[in-house]
Amino acid sequence: MIPFLIPPFKLIFVANGSSGTTQGKPKFVPFNDELMETTLQIYRTSYAFRKREFPIENGKALQFIYSSKQSKTQGGLIAGTTTTNVFRNPQFKKAMEAMQSQCCSPDEVIFGPDSHQSLYCHLLCGLIFRQEIQFISSTFSHSIVHGFRTFEQVWEELCVDIREGELTSRITFPSVRSAMAKLLKPNPQLADLIREKCLGMNNWYGLVRELFPNAKYIYGIMTGSMEPYLKKLRHYAGDLPLLSADYGSSEGWIGANVNPIVPPESATYVVLPNIGYFEFIPLKENVEEHVQGEVSNSFLSTEPEPVGLTEVKVGEEYEIIITSFAGLYRYRLGDVVKVTGFHNLSPELKFVRRRNLMLTINIDKNTETDLQLAVEAASKLNAEEKLEVLDFSSHVDLSTDPGHYVIFWEINGEVGDEVLKECCNCLDRSFVDAGYVSSRKVNAIGPLELRIVQKGTFQNILDHYVGLGAALSQFKTPRCVGPRNMEVLQILCDNVVKSYFSTAF
């Protein structure tokens, strides 16, 4: 849906909004100079709080940031993902310099046409400047995990490049090659050191600390749909603190993390009251779900009145409505937040979940959080076998009678059938919503199915989105795949290697 826009604009861009990366359909939302300014304001605010806890000296940052292609709309406006708009803006670079947070990679790498090649070069630049790296970051923390998973596969090649001062031939874009040639000099000592460190690692635990001895922290959005990656991130980080970045969306920023030292699981965001006009719909049970992005002047008949910024109550959950400087008017973001307190007079929010119901067949209602908790519980059985769920998604299969939930897992290593059968039962039992449990008991919902997909399947999904023009920086694995993104469902189904049906009920 194209949101209602208020003139005058200076510029309008097309961005991948919240649904762009979670539901597979890019969405057109406006972006202008004012939104850029609020972006910088959020960055500066949280940086001030971070710096108080973790002062950083003149240095660089290893940032897994990427741009996607920009294009022109029929009306001649420039279109691109939000992160692309931000990274390309000259103000961004200036602000990063002022915050001593310059990306260690040259622009040609950030704006390179192929994100695989850019990722390789980000890693190479990080190693070249390893002593100067003060922190490691990305917009969403998935990109950091993705970066170090890739490092596990390419570290030997990186060492060869460093030893010989010559970039691997698989980086093919001339602009990227010539920018990297300026940085890369033969350095056998560094290559030996990295090789020694990699060979000495125990399952890559503490990799980031080892590679970047002066890094103070790892920084990126780690809450919400990024929480499932925390375990892996902690593994790579070793004793390096993880700091969750701010809360916002392509549609507009909302709040800054002013307590950076709390663990990401407890991170909250203080609303910056002057970066938009915020309203909050109190949530109550059994309210009809809405379509994300709809203009919100129709909630009066079915839902409670939205309340203002200072009227929210601690402990209550709300859905956020944004009126932004870019022109969105009373726009429903589709996010549910909980008010945990006030910082001065502005509410402090904990991100709870996307509001859209995810898994539902009849009277059952399970959200992204319910799915995440179920996967966590079931993967603990896996942990005993030292196995890891690399990524997951889900689907409601109505082609069977009755319909049933399907959970897709990509796992690391070989797992015995018995363990996976038990994981499948555990998943089924972990959806504790009364509607689901009662439907399962009377077989109004069929046994849950766990489908194991082959390694690399979620990488294929990421590549699919990037191919559609999504930015790697904003990638979020779709946690529930339905008729709206049949292509992703097809990728998942084509890669199934084993499947199990629950016998839990």
Q: Around Cβ 20, how many Cβ atoms within 10 Å?
A: 25
Q: How far is the CB of 196 from ligand AMP (least distance, A)?
A: 37
Q: How far is the CB of 247 from ligand AMP (least distance, A)?
A: 4
3-class state of residue 354 by DSSP: strand
State how far the Cα of 137 lies from the Cα of 251, in Å rounded to an integer: 22
Could you tell me where the DSSP H helices lie in 364-416?
368-384
Reference 293, options 235, 249, 241; nearest CA is 249
Q: Is 344 left (phi over 0), alpha (psi -120 to 50) or beta?
A: left
Nearest residue to ligand AMP, by Cβ distance, number only: 224
Rg (CA), the chain: 23
Reference 29, options 49, 52, 11; nearest CA is 11
Q: Are 360 and 433 in contact (CB under 8 A)?
A: no
State how far the Cα of 321 lies from the Cα of 331, in Å rounded to an integer: 5
Please report the sign of the dihedral spanned by the C-alpha atoms of residue 303, residue 329, residue 45, residue 225: positive
The residue among 221 and 411 lying less far from ligand AMP, judged by its C-beta, is 221
The residue among 60 and 353 lying less far from ligand AMP, judged by its C-beta, is 353
Residues 6+ apart with CB under 8 A from 31: 11, 12, 13, 15, 82, 85, 250, 326
Q: How far is the CB of 471 from ligand AMP (least distance, A)?
A: 8
The residue among 250 and 379 lying less far from ligand AMP, judged by its C-beta, is 250
The residue among 243 and 406 lying less far from ligand AMP, judged by its C-beta, is 243
Q: How far is the CB of 25 from ligand AMP (least distance, A)?
A: 11
| Residue showing tokens 């077989």 | 443
Q: How far is the CB of 40 from ligand AMP (least distance, A)?
A: 17
| Footprint on this chain of ligand AMP (rule: CB under 6 A) | 16-18, 20-21, 82, 221, 223-224, 247-250, 333, 335, 351, 354, 474
3-class state of residue 274 by DSSP: coil
Q: How far is the CB of 164 from ligand AMP (least distance, A)?
A: 39
Q: Are 447 and 505 in contact (CB under 8 A)?
A: yes
The residue among 250 and 430 lying less far from ligand AMP, judged by its C-beta, is 250
The residue among 233 and 450 lying less far from ligand AMP, judged by its C-beta, is 233
Q: How far is the CB of 504 from ligand AMP (least distance, A)?
A: 31
State how far the Cα of 86 lies from the Cα of 50, in Å rounded to an integer: 21
The residue among 108 and 335 lying less far from ligand AMP, judged by its C-beta, is 335
The residue among 22 and 379 lying less far from ligand AMP, judged by its C-beta, is 22
Q: Is 410 left (phi over 0), alpha (psi -120 to 50) or beta?
A: beta
Q: How far is the CB of 351 from ligand AMP (least distance, A)?
A: 4
The residue among 180 and 258 lying less far from ligand AMP, judged by its C-beta, is 258
Q: How far is the CB of 493 from ligand AMP (least distance, A)?
A: 25
Q: Around Cβ 360, how many Cβ atoms within 10 Å?
A: 19
Q: Are 165 and 186 in contact (CB under 8 A)?
A: yes
Q: Are 206 and 239 in contact (CB under 8 A)?
A: yes
The residue among 335 and 391 lying less far from ligand AMP, judged by its C-beta, is 335
Q: Around Cβ 259, how many Cβ atoms within 10 Å?
A: 17
Reference 471, options 232, 119, 169, 222; nearest CA is 119
Vertex 356: Cα angle to 504 and 362 (nearest 5): 45
Q: How far is the CB of 260 from ligand AMP (least distance, A)?
A: 12
The residue among 256 and 448 lying less far from ligand AMP, judged by its C-beta, is 256
The residue among 21 and 102 lying less far from ligand AMP, judged by its C-beta, is 21
Instruction: Locate 264 and state its tokens.
Output: 């990401």
State how far the Cα of 465 lies from the Cα of 488, in Å rounded to an integer: 9
